[in-house]
Structure 1
Amino acid sequence: MSPADLVAALEEANAEFYAAFEAGDLDRMAALWADGPYAPSVTCVHPGWPMLRGRDEVLRSWALIMANTSYIQFVLTNVEADIHGDQAVVTCSENILTADEDTEAGFLAGGEVVATNIFVRADGAWRLLLHHGSPILNTAEEE
């Protein structure tokens, strides 16, 4: 696989992570996370949550989040992908819109999270080993 093909596959895996979340599809999400010998090292830090470690614990958290999220949309900006052998790092800004269909107001929140996604290449495919999201706090504009 050429370097350009490796980067394209990495970017596709990263985009699939967000697409699976938007779709609320736990099977798609599970297919993205590293397994086998990597399973104990799988790590996730959701914004405001403690660190979760181990594939089973991480996937349980996604099941909980998806069950309680009626709508979410990501617009990714500042996406940077770096490959180092069979490991890769993708950083980006997650511009998020969420809604609750049970309220008259509709959209309840919008915000920005900076994320680091670390992937490993296993059996020829990029698999997520770590996702760490950190919220960006809104600051007052300078006068």
Structure 2
Amino acid sequence: MFATPEEAELAFYDALERADLPRLMQVWAEDEEVICVHPGGLRVVGLHAVKESWQEILANGGLRIRPSMTVSSHSMMGAVHSLIEQISVKSADGTEVAHCYATNVYHKGPTGWKLVMHHASAAPVEAGMLDLHDKPGLLH
């Protein structure tokens, strides 16, 4: 269904915004070894448990999450994306923004690329600006 892990990732975040649980679950691998960790939550293991966790979250409507600053590692059959999620939440005081660090792991199977793990955790407001990166050495 998804020709690349990037395609699967776009479908994942689009389904979250639309609160489209059937579409969201099309992104996940049909495997009992899938794993999801929501910010501040417990580890959820297995396709049925993952579906129930998203169903509970999406019962309140869609999530406005903007993925950014993706760092990717790809191989022939797997991909890992580390990114920053910018989450916008409307409240009585206006729109509030929170950040999460997220890791999405994809495997390539007979039906294309599928999500096998999503792990998100709270990140500081300055996420991205203060992240540490290797700096190339100086040549003398």
TM-score (norm 2): 0.81
Q: How does 1:1-143 map to 2 (within 5 A)?
A: 9-35=4-30, 39-68=31-60, 70-99=61-90, 104-107=92-95, 109-138=96-125
SS of the aligned residue for 2:9 comes to: helix
Gaps of 5+ in 1: 1-5
Query: 1:43, 1:131 within 8 Å by CA — same for their partners in 2?
Result: yes
Between the aligned partners of 2:29 and 2:87, the Cα distance in structure 1 is 25
Residue-pair matches, total: 124
* Cα shift at 1:133: 0.2
Runs of 4+ in 1 over 4 A off after TM superposition: none
Calculate percent identity across the aligned residue pairs.
31
Say if 1:22 and 1:40 are closer, same or farther in 2 by CA, change over 3 A: same
Higher helix share: 1
TM-score (norm 1): 0.79
Query: Comparing 12-21 with 81-90, which one deviates more in the overlay?
Result: 81-90
SS of the aligned residue for 2:55 comes to: helix
Query: 2:84, 2:99 within 8 Å by CA — same for their partners in 1?
Result: yes
* Cα shift at 1:14: 0.9
